[in-house]
């Protein structure tokens, strides 16, 4: 098999990989390396995928933020770390966060705290509050917002 034939097969395969779900440039680059694609060919393949709109880091970031907020119920901090690990630039991360409806974000935090509050064995008030704060922090919500929500809920 010639290099040209191999690259053509890889392009079709990576196109299907990108069409299946939103991908970021780093995921595609890692997958191409995993498939032993010649390193000199990788930038050209990624550029072509972007031109053909199979690959768009901004679109990926928007979908990632929506999914992590609405499905996983993650906050901005944890979601941002996930995007940074995937090599998404800070400017795109900030733009994706602008799409979050602030009322919906606060409601997700409020409901998560209430659900966790019902699960906790109630002994001392301070311990309950600490557990709720730790829970919300591990979900990636901002400390100030957590405290504000706990105060509003009188917990």
CA 107 vs CA 11, 113, 116, 143, 149: distances in Å: 43, 10, 14, 15, 9
Output 63-69 pairs: Cβ under 8 A, ≥24 positions apart. Answer: 63/22, 64/22, 64/96, 65/96, 65/97, 65/99, 65/100, 66/99, 69/100, 69/104, 69/105, 69/108
Residue 125 has pLDDT above 80, yes or no: no
Q: What angle do CA 82, 108, 143 make, to 5 degrees?
A: 65
pLDDT at 115 (0 to 100) = 94
Q: pLDDT tens across 20-74, in order?
A: 899 999 999 999 999 988 899 999 999 999 999 999 999 999 999 999 999 999 9
Q: Is 75 helix (H, G, I), strand (E, B) or coil?
A: coil
- Cα separation, 133 vs 31, in Å, equals 38
pLDDT at 126 (0 to 100) = 64
- Model-wide pTM > 0.75: yes
Q: How confident is the model at residue 137 (pLDDT cuts 50, 70, 90)?
A: very high
- Cα separation, 74 vs 50, in Å, equals 28
């Amino acid at each position: 098999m010639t290099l040209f034939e191999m690259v053509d097969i890889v392009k079709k395969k990576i196109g299907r990989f990108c069409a299946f779900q939103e991908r970021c440039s780093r995921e595609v680059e890692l997958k191409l390396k995993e498939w032993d694609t010649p390193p000199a060919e990788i930038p050209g393949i990624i550029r072509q995928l972007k031109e053909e709109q199979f690959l768009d880091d901004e679109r990926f970031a928007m979908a990632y933020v929506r999914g992590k907020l609405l499905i996983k119920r993650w906050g901005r901090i944890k979601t941002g770390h996930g995007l940074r690990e995937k090599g998404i630039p800070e400017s795109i991360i900030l733009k994706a966060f602008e799409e979050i409806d602030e009322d919906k974000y606060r409601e997700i935090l409020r409901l998560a705290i209430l659900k966790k509050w019902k699960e906790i064995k109630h002994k001392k008030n301070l311990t309950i509050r600490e557990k709720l704060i730790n829970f919300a922090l591990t979900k990636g919500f901002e400390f100030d917002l957590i405290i504000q929500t706990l105060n509003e809920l009188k917990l």
